[in-house]
Amino acid sequence: MSWLGNGRIDWPRILLLALTVTVLVTLGTVAATSSTAFGPYNPSWDGSSDFRQDAEDDPTVESHLLSDTARYDELPANETVAFIIAPDEPYEGEDAERIREFVDEGGTLVVLENFGDPGNELLADVGAEARVDGQLVRDERHHFRGPTMPVATSVENYTLTSGVDQLTLNYGTAVEPGNATVLVATSDFAYLGPEDDELDEQDELQSYPVATVENVSEGKVVVVGDPSITINAMYSEPDNAAFVRGLYADADHVIFDRSHGSGVPPLAAAMLVIRGSPLLQLLVGTIGIGFVAVLSQIRVKSALEALQSRLPARFQPAGNRNDGTIGPGLSDSERAEFLRRQHPDWDEEQIQHMITALNHPRSEDETDE
C-alpha cells in the first residue's frame, strides 16, 4: 500500500486510516473502562482503578476480579482477602452462604459501607457483630476540606494498622463495633447527624469508631465506615493507601468482589467468562492460532510477490511480463509512441517488430528456437 499517488500524498486514504484508528481507540476505551462509582476499572475520581492497579502491581499477591461468588471456592480461603465495596444489591441465598463459608474456612472479609443496607445485611449473614451506623460523621476541628471529610486521628497499635497514623474520610459514617476491636476512630470532636444539620448544643462531641476487625469462626471480618477511602480522589490521601495495603499485606490472594455491583467493563467481563470456561479457552486459543496462521500466509505471499517484482523480466512469469505500460490495454500507435520515448535509438523497423511480438506473445508451451 502506498500513501503517494502520482507523487502526491493520498489524503483520502490517510484520513480514512486516522478515522479507523480513532474509532478503534474509542471502542477499546469503552470496552476496557467503566464509569461506575467505586468501579475497579473506573479511572475517574470516583472509581477505584488506582486501588486495583496497586494490588495488581504488588508482586507478593495475586488479584482476582469476581463477578460470581461461586469463584470463592477456587481460592484457598486462609490465604485470601476479599474486598466488598458499597454493594448495590444484597447478598442472598447461595451468595451469602458462600461468603459465610469463605469466612468460616479462614478467609478475611473486608466490607466498606457507609449508608447502604446491603453491607449490614451481609455482616449479619456472616455472623459479624459490627455494623455501620448510617449517619454522616463530621468533625469540626480535624478535617480535610470540611467537616464532612473528617480526619480520623485515633489509630490503635495493631498489625493491620502498621504504618498508619490517620485516615482521611469523605462522607463516611461510624461503625458500631459490638465486641469487635476498634482499629481507627475519629478525634473527640466528631458528631453524627444529617448533612444539613448544624452543630448545636444537642450534638454530642466524641470519638467514633470508623474501622473495626473481629474474628468470626476461623476467619476475620473488617468493617470500614467509608468506602471512599478506595476511590482515586481519596486513595492517595493520608494514610488511606497504607491502611488498605495493610489489610492484604499477609495474603497471597486479593479478591475484588463485584458480583453485587456494576462496574465491570465488557472486555473485563468477557475475560472473566473465558477464564471460567475451559471450552471457551480452547475455542479462543484455536481461533487465535488460525488467525496467526492466515496472517503469516498473507505476509509470506506479499513478500514473495515483492521479491518477484524485483527480478529481471526474463525471470518473471509470462503473465507478469505481459503486464505494464505497453501491455494489451494500449493501441499500436500508443505502444509505438512509448517505445520511441524509451528507446530513441531504435528505428521504425525495430519498433514495429516489437509491437508485432507484443501482439503475438508466445505461449508458455512454446520453446525458444
Residues 59 and 3 in one domain: no
Residues 301 and 229 in one domain: no
**In the prediction, which pLDDT does 364 show?**
44
Residues 163 and 251 in one domain: yes
Average of per-residue pLDDT across 242-269: 84
Instruction: Give the integer Cα–Cα distance in Å for 161 and 243.
Output: 6
Instruction: Give the integer Cα–Cα distance in Å for 218 and 182.
Output: 19
Q: Is residue 317 part of a domain?
A: no
Residues 118 and 242 in one domain: yes
Q: Is residue 369 part of a domain?
A: no
> What SS3 state is found at 190?
strand
Which residues constitute the domain of residue 302? Answer: 277-310
Residues 219 and 72 in one domain: yes
Instruction: Give the integer Cα–Cα distance in Å for 3 and 15.
Output: 11
Q: Which residues have CB under 8 Å from 248's CB, separation 6+?
A: 55, 61, 81, 108, 254
Residues 231 and 96 in one domain: yes
Q: Which tens digit of pLDDT belongs to each residue from 170-210?
A: 999 999 999 999 999 999 999 998 877 777 777 789 999 99
Instruction: Give the integer Cα–Cα distance in Å for 273 and 250.
Output: 29
Quick check: 18 pLDDT over 60? yes
Element (H or E) spanning 319, and its range? Answer: helix 318-321
Residues 59 and 161 in one domain: yes
**In the prediction, which pLDDT does 28 show?**
47
Q: Which residue has the higher pLDDT, 226 or 261?
A: 226
Residues 269 and 352 in one domain: no
Record the pTM.
0.69
Grid cell 458500631 — which residue?
Answer: 176
Domain count, the chain: 4
| Least confident stretch, 201-205, 248-252, 289-293, 338-342 | 289-293
Average of per-residue pLDDT across 125-129: 98
Residues 6 and 96 in one domain: no
Residues 265 and 172 in one domain: yes
Q: Which tens digit of pLDDT belongs to each residue from 354-364?
A: 878 777 654 44
Q: Is residue 264 part of a domain?
A: yes
Tell me the three-class secondary structure of 111-168, residue by residue: EECCCCHHHHHHHHHHCCCCEEEEEEEEECCCECCCCCCEEECEECCCHHHCCCCCEE
Residues 207 and 77 in one domain: yes
